[in-house]
């Protein structure tokens, strides 16, 4: 069975755009994963820990036969491969890949929560997600209302169209 999954990607260390491109390439090369849609890239002021460079953020949707926990492990391996270091909560990172949605699954494990528990408070997640998500609501939450509530305050700006060559 193929699952429809939405991911959020972010980078604010080094060549941010290149890290996003490398992450998308690595995700698309995973076995049992098919890249479906890719959003544009957005630049965003840091969230949580403000003494760091602005982030580039985007969203991708994939189809996969992997279950949520196996996919999480694969995405964490990609983060490690791309030199992600977790030193400060919400701090600088070469790449951050979060599972936002996995079909209409609700999961509340210690190491994995779906839908992502903070996504409705993060315009930098919702703006690119809205580009590739077909629908106005997620689990009864209106996407546009949440974007309007947080976008200006969080400084989400269109950066550029994402160019991907597999």
What residues contact 77, with CB distance under 8 A and at least 6 apart? none
pLDDT digits over 35-55, tens only?
999 999 999 887 666 677 899
93 is catalytic: yes
pLDDT bin (cut points 50, 70, 90) of residue 89 is: low
Give this prediction's pTM. Answer: 0.92
* pLDDT for residue 115: 93
List the domain range (segments joined by +) for residue 135. 3-160
For position 116, which CATH number holds?
3.30.70.560
Residue 156 confidence (pLDDT) above 60: yes
15 is catalytic: no
Average pLDDT for residues 119-146, to the nearest whole number?
A: 94
Instruction: Given the residues 16, 54, 98, 122, select the one marked as catalytic.
Output: 98
Instruction: Given the residues 16, 93, 122, 151, select the one marked as catalytic.
Output: 93
Instruction: Given the residues 15, 16, 96, 122, select the one marked as catalytic.
Output: 96
Q: Does residue 166 belong to any structural domain of this protein? A: no
6 strand-pairing partners: 61, 101
- Name the average pLDDT for the chain: 90
Percentage of the chain surpassing pLDDT 70?
91
Q: What token pair was written down for 63?
A: 């189809």
16 is catalytic: no
> 92 near 22, Cβ under 8 Å?
no
How many domains does the chain contain in total?
A: 1
* pLDDT for residue 93: 83
What is the enclosing helix (H) or strand (E) of 100?
strand 96-102
Instruction: Given the residues 15, 16, 54, 84, select the one marked as catalytic.
Output: 84
């Amino acid at each position: 069975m193929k699952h429809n999954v939405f991911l959020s990607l972010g980078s604010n260390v080094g060549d941010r755009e290149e890290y996003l491109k490398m992450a998308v390439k690595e995700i698309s090369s995973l076995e049992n994963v098919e890249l479906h849609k890719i959003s544009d890239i957005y630049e965003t002021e840091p969230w949580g820990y403000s003494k760091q460079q602005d982030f580039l953020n985007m969203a991708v949707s994939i189809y996969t036969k992997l279950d949520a926990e196996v996919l999480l492990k694969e995405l964490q391996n990609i983060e490690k491969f791309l030199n992600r270091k977790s030193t400060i909560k919400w701090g600088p990172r070469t790449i951050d890949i979060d599972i936002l949605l996995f079909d209409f699954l609700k999961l509340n494990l210690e190491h994995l929560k779906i839908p992502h528990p903070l996504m409705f408070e993060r315009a930098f997640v919702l703006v690119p997600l809205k580009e590739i998500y077909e629908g106005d609501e997620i689990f009864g939450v209106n996407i546009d209302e949440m974007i309007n509530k947080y976008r200006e305050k969080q400084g989400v700006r269109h950066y550029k169209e994402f160019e991907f060559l597999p």
